Chains A and B, each alone.
Chain A
Amino acid sequence: GAVVSQHPSWVICKSGTSVKIECRSLDFQATTMFWYRQFPKQSLMLMATSNEGSKATYEQGVEKDKFLINHASLTLSTLTVTSAHPEDSSFYICSAPSGRDTQYFGPGTRLTVL
Chain B
Amino acid sequence: GENVEQHPSTLSVQEGDSAVIKCTYSDSASNYFPWYKQELGKRPQLIIDIRSNVGEKKDQRIAVTLNKTAKHFSLHITETQPEDSAVYFCAASILDQFYFGTGTSLTVIP
Contact = CB atoms under 8 A, between A and B. Distances in A.
Interface in A78-111: 91, 93, 95, 97, 101, 103, 105-108, 110
Q: Give the size range of A's interface with the partner.
A: 20 to 34
Interface residues of B, number: 22
A49 interface: yes
10 contacts: A34-B98, A41-B105, A43-B100, A43-B102, A49-B97, A60-B1, A101-B51, A103-B96, A103-B98, A108-B42
Interface of A: 32, 34, 36, 41-46, 49, 59-60, 91, 93, 95, 97, 101, 103, 105-108, 110
B41 A91 contact: yes
Interface of B: 1, 6, 32, 34, 41-44, 46, 49, 51, 89, 93, 96-103, 105
A61 to B, nearest CB: 10
